[in-house]
Chain A
Amino acid sequence: MKTDRKKNRSMKREQKHVERLLSAYIFEELDRQKAERVERHLAQCEDCARALKHEEELHRSLTGTLARRTIDPAYDITGSVRAKIREREDRESISNRISKVFDMRFRPAAAYALAASIGLAAGILPILTFLSPSAAVAESEADPLAVEYLMDAPPQSLTAFYFDGEVSDE
């Protein structure tokens, strides 16, 4: 009686152990020793033999569904990867060239010109114009950038203020 109980407990422990190994067993991931232990147990345990059968059915379904397939050539990405690499390299090259332009000799003037351009684009000048006590602001529907700003200076086109040379008002 005691021996039977001990045998049952031992069998249950072995059953639990083998159940945990079934997945790896089906994948053939067990070393020879463990695989043989599983096979010895399966020969004596109907529950585990049944469990293995269910695992194998699921394994077959998953293999059928998830197995690797041939990709339709329409989805080939070789060309698009090459194009994106070229695009990124071109962007880096432009960025490197701009950095060279803004080297130590030109930095102050270039920084001023860059800041002015950014200011224009951001519309800072209208705000500065608003804050300035004696600024004259002219808005033109034809030219949204024709905002004249200068303290105590006659109105000029914005372009003339920042760049030398003649500017024609269009």
Chain B
Amino acid sequence: MTDIDLDQKLMQAAAEGDADSFGELVRRHQGSVINYFYRYTQNIETARELSQEVFLRIYEARKRYRPTAKFTTYLFRVAHNLAINRVIAKKRPVSIPMETGDPDTLDPVIASESDNPEEAALVSEESRFIEDALLTLSERERSALIMKYTLDMSYAEIADATGDSESAVDSLLMRAKRKLRRELEKRDVSSPG
């Protein structure tokens, strides 16, 4: 059975009252949803709350679920609408800067993947800059960019989730990257050496 078939089977069982099946769906997809909201809001607690809200909404609408599209399309349609419509506080998460050398408190979600501390520091600085620059994008640009880079969704999948056409998705991504490039260039111009 493919993942797509399994998701639909679980969702149909949930629609018939099987709460354990719904729990399994949450377990299977919470990582993606939390990643999406964490990148979108840059706050892990807000990401958790919004992720819970997505699953609760899907649960409440479970009897109306029809497997006309992939479950993940439905899932991220709800997530995208919640992200776009919700007023998200544009706050940076509380974190201890790299300089203190306490990697456990740096980022609640991201596991460190570099063994070289200097390289990790450079990557981390640029990453922080990109994360800040994400907040300068419009909600739709940000959502599309995260769906592409974090969730590795295709243009077609992003279009289904957002209700846009594929060419609109392409335009959103181009605009988003152009803005991020400008922010990165500003940083390069203003940073010494």
Using CB atoms and an 8 Å cutoff, list the residues of chain A in contact with chain B.
20, 23-24, 27, 29, 54-55, 58, 61-72, 74-78, 80-82, 84-85, 88
- CB of B30 within 8 A of CB of A78, answer yes
Binds A, one of B68-76, B77-85, B90-98, B173-181: B173-181
> Who on chain A is nearest to B35 by CB?
A68
Interface residues of B toward A: which range?
A: 35 or more
* A80-B52 contact, Cβ under 8 Å, with A58-B180, A62-B130: yes
Contact of A71 among B34, B56, B166 (CB under 8 A): B34
B51 is an interface residue with CB less than 8 A from chain A? yes
A–B Cβ pairs within 8 angstroms, 20 of them: A58-B180, A61-B130, A65-B126, A65-B127, A65-B149, A66-B146, A66-B149, A68-B31, A70-B31, A71-B34, A74-B108, A75-B44, A78-B23, A78-B30, A80-B48, A81-B23, A81-B52, A85-B19, A88-B56, A88-B60
B174 to chain A, nearest CB (A): 5
Chain B residues touching A, majority SS: helix
* A75-B123 contact, Cβ under 8 Å, with A23-B170, A29-B154, A29-B170: no
* A69-B110 contact, Cβ under 8 Å, with A27-B148, A62-B180: yes
Residues of A contacting B149 in the complex (Cβ-Cβ under 8 angstroms) = 62-63, 65-67
- CB of B174 within 8 A of CB of A68, answer no
- CB of A82 within 8 A of CB of B174, answer no
5 additional A-B residue pairs with CB within 8 Å, beyond A61-B184, A85-B59 = A66-B130, A74-B108, A75-B48, A77-B52, A77-B55
